[in-house]
Amino acid sequence: MPTVPFAPDVFTWPADEPQLIGSRCGVCAAVTFPEQPSCPRCGSVEMARRLFPRRGTLIAWTTQEFLPKAPYAGGETQETFKPFGVGLVQLGDEIRVEGRLTESDPEKLHSGGEVELTIIPFREDGDTQVVTFAFKPV
């Protein structure tokens, strides 16, 4: 089954070692995720594309235990929905990004834990597998 990212320009794909795509300010070195056309710190428009490290540290986390309303597009129903974790992950010393976690058991999640970027199935569109990004504990 062919795989396509759930949205363009979020992570490099296809790739053996995918990376999240953001931007970095040429004036003050602030970084953003995803890319944006100007700097959130100094307002400069000199933003360049930046690929982030794949590994990081879990700064904060929670669980998503109910089916989100639209615009959620995971395709589950109340019956098929399974809770997922959500975390704020610091990648290197560059940036903290918010994303899904492959683990949703509070007993197995803790602040300071090491995690790695992974690409996981999101939903099926006909004969296409749509994929999203997540972090898995290592």
Strand 128-137 vs strand 95-101: parallel, antiparallel, or unpaired?
A: parallel
Q: Tell me how far, at minimum, the Cβ of 35 lies from other proteins, in Å.
A: 9
Q: Phi first, then psi: what are they for 3, rounded to 5°?
A: -115, 140
Residues that bind other proteins (CB under 8 A): 6-7, 10, 22, 30-34, 40-41, 59-66, 68-74, 84, 86-88, 90, 93-100, 106, 110-111, 122, 132
Q: Is the peptide bond before 40 cis (omega within 30 degrees of 0)?
A: no
Q: Tell me how far, at minimum, the Cβ of 128 lies from other proteins, in Å.
A: 15
Give me the residues paired with residue 133 across strands.
119
Lookup: tokens for 127: 């004969």
Residue 103 amino acid letter: E
Q: Among Zn ion, other proteins, none, what does residue 111 contact (CB within 5–8 Å per kind)?
A: other proteins
Q: Tell me how far, at minimum, the Cβ of 67 lies from Zn ion, in Å.
A: 38
DSSP letter (8 states) at residue 53: P
Query: CB within 8 A of 23, min separation 6: which ones?
Result: 31, 32, 34, 35, 36, 47, 48, 49, 50
**Binding flag, residue 38, Zn ion (CB under 5 A):** no
Lookup: tokens for 64: 């998503």
Indicate the residue among 14 and 83 with the shorter CB distance to other proteins.
83
Q: Tell me how far, at minimum, the Cβ of 54 lies from other proteins, in Å.
A: 16
**Binding flag, residue 41, Zn ion (CB under 5 A):** yes
Indicate the residue among 84 and 116 with the shorter CB distance to other proteins.
84
Residues that bind Zn ion (CB under 5 A): 25, 27-28, 30, 39, 41-42, 44
